[in-house]
Amino acid sequence: MKRSIFAILAIILSLSLLLTACAAQPTEAPAAPPATAEPTEAPAAPPATEVPTEAPAAPPAPANPDVILATTTSTRDSGLLDYLLPIFQEETGYVIKMVAVGTGEALKMGEEGNADVLLVHAPASEVTFMEGGFGKDRYLIMHNDFVIVGPADDPAGIKGSADTVTALKAIAEAQAPFTTRGDDSGTHKMELKLWAAAEITPEGEWYLNTGQGMGDTLRIASEKYAYTLTDRATYLALKDTLDLDILFEGDKALLNIYHVITVNPEKWTNMNYDGAKAFADWLVTDEVQKMVETFGVDKYGQPLFFPDAGNPEY
C-alpha cells in the first residue's frame, strides 16, 4: 500500500516538474512581418543621344585652284569683291588673286597672259579685245552710273546742267580744278569720251592728272577742292571721308557697264581656264545676281550696282 502511495506521489512529482519546466521555456516572439520596401522611382532613361550632323562637305579641291582676276578698281574700292570673293572661294575651292587696276591695264594683262579672268567696264575696248582673239567668253554682269562730284558750293555752277556736255563746258570755262585718273581705266576712257563730245581738250593747271585709282582720285579731288568723274558705287562707299557732293547725274551718257571676260587658253597655255570659267559662270547665277542687287542697300539706302545677267547688251 505504501509503495503504491509512493509510486503515485512520484508520478505526481514528476508531472509537476515537467509542467514547471515547460512553463519556464521562453517563447519566441512572433516574426515581424517582412518590411515592405518603399517604392523606388524607375531609373531615368538616359538622355537621347543627338545624332551629330555632318558639316557640309567641302567642295573637291580643283586640280589648279589658283585664279588671277584682273579688275577695275571700282569693284574693289566699292567693297563688292570683298563681299563676293570669299563666298565663291568657299563654294568652289578656287582661290582668287585679285589685281585691281584700270580697265585698260586689266585688258593688257589679259593680252599678255598675265590674268585668267577680267572684270572690266569699257565696252568698246572689250569688243576690240574679243575681236583680237584674246578673250573666250564675255558675259554682261551689271551696271551702275557715273556722276560728277565736286565742292558743295559748286564754283563752276554745273548743278542743274541740261546734260554732261554742258556741265563739262562750264568746268572748262571756269577753269575750275578737275582731277582725272589718267590711267587708261574705264572711268578715264569714259571721261575722255565725254570731253570729246564737248569738243574740249582738257589741259592746263586746272586739269590735274592723278595717275591713281578711283578711290585715291576722289581723295585728291576732295583735298584740291576739285571736280571729278566717278562711278557712283565708289563715291558712295567713300562719301563719309570726302568733302565732295554729287553735282551732276542722270544723263544716259553716264551709264557704266561691267562685263566678265575669260582669257582665251588657246593664246596662252598656262591659263587656268577652268577656274576662270567657273568664276564667270558663278557671277551670272540668280543667287549671285541677287547679291549684286542688294549689295550696299543696308548701308547706303540704295544699291551700288544693278544686275544685268541675261539682259540684252546696252
Q: What is the pLDDT of residues 259-276, one digit of tens each?
A: 999 999 999 989 999 999
**pLDDT-based confidence at 120, cuts 50/70/90?**
very high
C-alpha cell at 116: 585668267
C-alpha cell at 179: 582731277
Number of continuous H segments (helices) and E segments (strands) in the chain: 12, 10
Nearest C-alpha neighbor of 270 from the set 34, 38, 96, 112:
112
225 plus 129 within the same structural domain: no
Which domain, by its residues, includes 179?
A: 145-254
Question: What percent of the chain lies above the pLDDT cut of 90?
Answer: 79
Mean pLDDT of 182-205: 96
Structural domains counted in the chain:
2
Pairing, β 117-120 against β 245-248: unpaired
- Under a CB-based contact definition with an 8 Å cutoff, are residues 147 and 158 in contact? no
Q: What is the pLDDT of residue 289?
A: 98
Q: If you search the block for the grid coordinates 509542467, which residue do you land on?
A: 19
134 plus 260 within the same structural domain: yes
Q: What is the pLDDT of residue 50?
A: 53
Q: What is the pLDDT of residue 59?
A: 74
Nearest C-alpha neighbor of 263 from the set 118, 95, 98:
118
Residue 12 has pLDDT above 90, yes or no: no
121 plus 200 within the same structural domain: no
Residue 244 has pLDDT above 60, yes or no: yes
Q: What is the pLDDT of residue 269?
A: 87
Phi, psi of 3 (to 5 degrees): -60, -40
Give the mean pLDDT of the chain: 87
**pLDDT-based confidence at 51, cuts 50/70/90?**
low
Which spans in 225-303 are helix H?
232-238, 273-283, 286-294, 297-300
C-alpha cell at 172: 572748262
Residue 75 has pLDDT above 90, yes or no: yes
Q: Which residues pair with 225 in a beta bridge?
A: none
Residue 290 has pLDDT above 90, yes or no: yes
200 plus 116 within the same structural domain: no
Q: Of residues 45 and 67, which shows the higher confidence score?
A: 67
83 plus 139 within the same structural domain: yes
For residue 183, the domain's CATH number is 3.40.190.10
| Residue 45 within a domain | no
CA 187, CA 232: separation in Å to the nearest integer? 11
pTM of the predicted structure, to 2 decimals: 0.78
Neighbours of 216 (CB within 10 A): 15
| Residue 273 within a domain | yes
